[in-house]
Amino acid sequence: MAAPETLDALFLAHAAVLAATTERALAAAGADAVVIGAGFQRYRFLDDQPDPFVANPHFRAWAPILNAPGSFVVYVPGRRPLLLFHQPEDYWHKPPASPHGGWVEAFDLRVIRNPAEARAHVPAGAAYVGEPFSGCEEWRFGAVNPPALVDRLHWARGTKTPYELACLRQAARLGARAHRAAAGAFLAGASEYEIHLAYLEATGHCEAELPYPNIIALNEGAAVLHYTDLSRDQPAVRRSLLIDAGAQCRSYACDITRTHVAAGSPFADLVAGLDAAEQRLCAMVRPGRPYPEIHFEAHRLVAALLVEHGLVTCSADAAVETGVTRVFFPHGVGHLLGLQVHDVGGHQAAEDGGRAPPPADHPFLRLTRRLEPGMVVTIEPGIYFIDLLLDQARADGRGRHIDWDTVADLAPYGGVRIEDDVVALPDGPDNLTRAAFAGLGS
């Protein structure tokens, strides 16, 4: 894995790119400076227990700090960025450690004991990017989250610097190692919760450090797209495991899904077929391609699998045209990935804003942009047996194209999804996930 000093060296160049991007965005927005807040700790209603803190992703783009509520980055074009690091004097809780490592060289670092101290370092009329906070209006910001600035920052987040790609690769390695451990726990007879524990141990993360709650579904649970029950009970019959789980490196996430089968069955053949189809879709991740083209091809490949495995009685073309594929594959084929699992700007029409919505009959497609060099996307086709959607198909006439006996045979397995993280590069796709698994060996 990349050593911290290697990432730190890459970070210095990343910070320079980020400064240049921000300077252009400020000029377009008519602002002279920007203040980016990490955010503040939230407390539960009628309680003194805080929720896990998650910093503003715009702050994390500048500073790889996970736990520093009340901190700020101040950037004035032509000056070194200022990192105002909130380190309270506290004996009830351990204050966050002072930032260290080579990446700190990119900043003028100053420790503040109270977030209010940051106000003295805020240039008059600076734009603020982050969640508004109590007393924010007293800081006299020129604007809070002005669209002309934020849209440009979101658009730029779509393409990744070498530092960001290095972090994403390391996150993929952590995730692949943990997926391997989870698969072993499944085959050894573990419950969903026990598989979750095996996954956490392999990543070295606590639950709050995961990029999203683990989806670990045995058998029929895989038909729930975001299943997070983590049952402690072991099922009487162990058929399948769908695990959609990630890991993080310096706030950059991997997002990996695999489906495992306890024994050979027609469902195992369906898993193998979808895995092959998914790799064909990954090969389409190239600069210049409109991402919806990959989504539409996913439906054509899913339709072919539905025909091949006897789940539909019509042709593959008819399954797409009549909407039968959406009964079995109801979500988008993927999304942007980076500091957020569903990274921002997926429906943005242009650098200066506007919206490019998904097609009306594919409302859950999260990315409608044309791929650019350095974009990282997920590719995650699926085939599921969801009672709600199957019942709708029975009622609206699409059910006449479905072989209900075959559906009944496969429904106890819940569903299958395969997901990889892929970089669009001029010389071809770079599949971070497959490379990470390959690095583990057999």
Q: Which residues contact 215 (CB under 8 A, 6 or more apart)?
A: 226, 227, 228, 242, 243, 244, 245, 257
Four-CA torsion 126, 129, 130, 136, nearest 10 degrees: 20
Q: Which domains does the chain have, with CATH numbers?
A: 4-157 (3.40.350.10), 162-440 (3.90.230.10)
Place of tokens 């320079």: 16
Q: What is the pLDDT of residue 264?
A: 85
Distance separating alpha carbons of residues 152 and 28, to the nearest angstrom: 9
**C-alpha distance from residue 384 to each of 121, 266, 294, 328, 389 (Å):** 54, 14, 19, 5, 10
Distance separating alpha carbons of residues 31 and 144, to the nearest angstrom: 11
Q: Which residues contact 213 (CB under 8 A, 6 or more apart)?
A: 207, 228
Q: What is the pLDDT of residue 307?
A: 98
pLDDT tens string for the chain (442 positions)?
Answer: 677 779 999 999 999 999 999 999 999 999 999 999 999 999 999 999 999 999 999 999 999 998 899 999 999 999 999 999 999 999 888 898 999 999 999 999 999 999 999 999 999 999 999 999 988 999 999 999 999 999 999 999 999 999 999 999 999 999 999 999 999 999 999 999 999 999 999 999 999 999 999 999 999 999 999 999 999 999 999 999 999 999 999 999 999 999 999 988 999 999 999 999 999 999 999 999 999 999 999 999 999 999 999 999 999 999 999 999 999 999 999 999 999 999 999 999 999 999 999 999 999 999 999 999 999 999 999 999 999 999 999 999 999 999 999 999 999 999 999 999 999 999 999 999 999 999 998 6
Distance separating alpha carbons of residues 235 and 240, to the nearest angstrom: 11
Distance separating alpha carbons of residues 34 and 121, to the nearest angstrom: 11
Which residues are paired to 216 by β-bridges?
Answer: 243
Distance separating alpha carbons of residues 173 and 433, to the nearest angstrom: 8
Count Cβ neighbours within 10 Å for each residue of 346-357 and write b for 16 or more, e otherwise.
Answer: bebeebeeeeee
Count Cβ neighbours within 10 Å for each residue of 224-233 and write b for 16 or more, e otherwise.
Answer: bbebeebeee
Q: Answer for the pair 69, 84: CB distance below 8 angstroms, yes or no.
A: no
Q: Answer for the pair 144, 360: CB distance below 8 angstroms, yes or no.
A: no
Q: What is the pLDDT of residue 263?
A: 87
Q: Which residues contact 206 (CB under 8 A, 6 or more apart)?
A: 200
DSSP-derived 3-state class of residue 228: coil
Length of the chain: 442
Q: Quick one: which H or E segment has residue 382?
A: strand 382-384
Structure tokens at 43: 């407390």
Q: Answer for the pair 223, 415: CB distance below 8 angstroms, yes or no.
A: yes
DSSP-derived 3-state class of residue 431: strand
Q: What is the pLDDT of residue 1?
A: 65
179 exposure class (CB count in 10 Å sphere: 0-12, 13-18, 19+):
buried
